[in-house]
A and B are shown apart, each in its own frame.
Chain A
Amino acid sequence: MTYTILGRCAKTGRLGIGIATFSITVGRYAHCAKAMTGVTISQAFANENNNQRALRLLAEGFSADAVLAQLQANDEFFTYRQIGVIDRTGRAAAYTGPGTRGWSGHVAGENHIATGNGLVGQHVVEAIAQGFLAEPDADLEHRLLMGIEAGRDAGGQGTREVHKAERSSALLVYSRNAYPDIDLRVDLHETAVEELRRVWIEYKKYEAYYRQRGEHPRGAMSQEVFMATLQAADG
């Protein structure tokens, strides 16, 4: 049980993922994006080796379709996997194996893949894609989060009778650097999508400050002083 949005910003080339699931600490599996290279996820019964292998293949120049074909050829349990790959040109390839449980499926288009398993139905992945596509000019991290929240609001994981809680979530975006622009996680929580929104709102206040104090340490204001300016602005 998991639902995920993989996305690429057509304007900037930034790449990222938003993911939420019943399993705990899902961010451990989500080291799955690389700047100017691509973004991928293997979920359901995840082959944990796939994400790094897919990123290496993308870095060598293989297209999203070719990467997916190579993952298939390399895995005796491929039919239990659910996989998405977006390459640096925005081409998307997705697969949902018949061995995944509950309602499983994906919606793939240029620059995005909405994918999930153990969901209440097809409308969840459709809602995720719509959420992602709603504001194409917004920052990628915002669009990914909108996708995940739309998936939750459409019913998320479970069956018609029983809702399955999101216990962990993650949001990851790469731009041009070897390190991510945004890397936020909720590892163990009753309502991990709501908590991810809270973490994101808090982090966004500090994002530019954290970047600047590393780039320009001389005369950087202390975090206490910065927080006082935040409070004054809220005030």
Chain B
Amino acid sequence: MTFSLIGRCARTGRLGLGITTFSLAVGGRCEGVAANVGVCKTQAFPNRTNDPLGIKLMAEGYVPAKVMAMFAANDSEHDYRQIAIMDREGRIAAHTGGGCRGWAGHKEGADCVAFGNGLVGPQVLDGMIQGFMTRPEDALEYRLMRAIEGGRDAGGQGTADEHRPERSAAIKVVDRLDYPEVDVRVDVHPTAVAELRRVLEEFKLYEAFYRGRGKDPSKAIPQDEFAKQLEAKRRRA
């Protein structure tokens, strides 16, 4: 049980992944997000070697469809995997093996692919893509956040009779640097998607401050002072 969306910002070329699931600490199993290369995520019954391998293959120039074919040839249990791959040019390949449980599937949209298993139905993927497309001019991390929220609001994980909570969630966005620009996580929480929204909003308040103080420490103000300025702004708002 998981629902995820890989997206690309057509304006900036930034790439990212938004994911949530019933399992714990899902953000600790998302190595396949690489700047200027692509995004690869294997879920359902995941083969953990796939995502690092997929990044290496895309870095060598293989297109997602070819990477997927190589995964299939490299894994006796490919039929139990759910995989989506997007390269830096936005090419997509997706696979939902017949061994995935519950309602499982994937769907492509503009600059994105939504994929999930153990879901209440295909409306979850539609909800994700709609969420992603709501404000295409926004920063990719917000679009990924809306995608996850869209999937949740369309029913998320479970069956018609029983909802399954999201217990962990993550968003990763890469730009040009070889570490993520945005990397926010919730590892164990009863409503992980709502909590991820809280973490993301708070991170966005600090993002420029954290980046700036590393780039030129000689001009950096203490974090206490920055936090006080934030509080003052909040009180005014």
Interfacial residues, chain A to chain B (CB-CB below 8 A): 1, 22-25, 27-29, 31, 44-49, 51-52, 77, 80, 99, 101, 177-180, 182-188, 198-199, 202-203, 206, 210, 213-214, 216-218, 220, 222-223
Contacts and interface: CB of A to CB of B under 8 A. Distances in A.
A6 B75 CA distance: 35
B45 to A, nearest CB: 3
Contacts of B23: 206, 210, 223
Nearest to A178: B52
Given A25-B199, A177-B49, 16 more contacts: A24-B206, A45-B220, A46-B214, A99-B218, A179-B31, A179-B48, A179-B52, A182-B28, A183-B25, A183-B29, A185-B185, A185-B187, A186-B187, A198-B188, A199-B25, A223-B1
Contact of B202 (A99, A188, A203, A220): A188
Interface of B: 1, 22-25, 27-29, 31, 44-49, 51-53, 77, 80, 99, 101, 177-180, 182-188, 198-199, 202-203, 206, 210-211, 213-214, 216-218, 220, 222-223
Contact of B28 (A28, A180, A202): A180
Contact of B185 (A27, A51, A217): A27
B199 A51 contact: no
Nearest to B180: A28
Nearest to B52: A178
Contacts of B198: 188
Nearest to B220: A45
Contacts of A199: 24-25, 187-188
B28 A99 contact: no
Nearest to A214: B46
A197 to B, nearest CB: 11
A17 B80 CA distance: 33
Given A25-B184, A186-B187, A217-B77, A45 B213 contact: yes
A178 B50 CA distance: 10
19 contacts: A25-B203, A28-B179, A28-B182, A29-B179, A45-B213, A48-B179, A48-B214, A51-B179, A52-B178, A177-B48, A177-B49, A179-B51, A183-B27, A184-B187, A185-B28, A199-B24, A199-B25, A203-B188, A218-B80
A172 to B, nearest CB: 8
Contacts of B48: 177, 179, 214
A198 B24 CA distance: 12
Nearest to A188: B199
Contacts of A222: 101
Contacts of B27: 183, 185
A225 to B, nearest CB: 12
B77 A203 contact: no
Nearest to B51: A179
A1 B220 CA distance: 14
Contacts of A45: 213-214, 217, 220
A222 to B, nearest CB: 7
A220 B45 CA distance: 9
A206 B51 CA distance: 21
Contacts of B49: 177-179
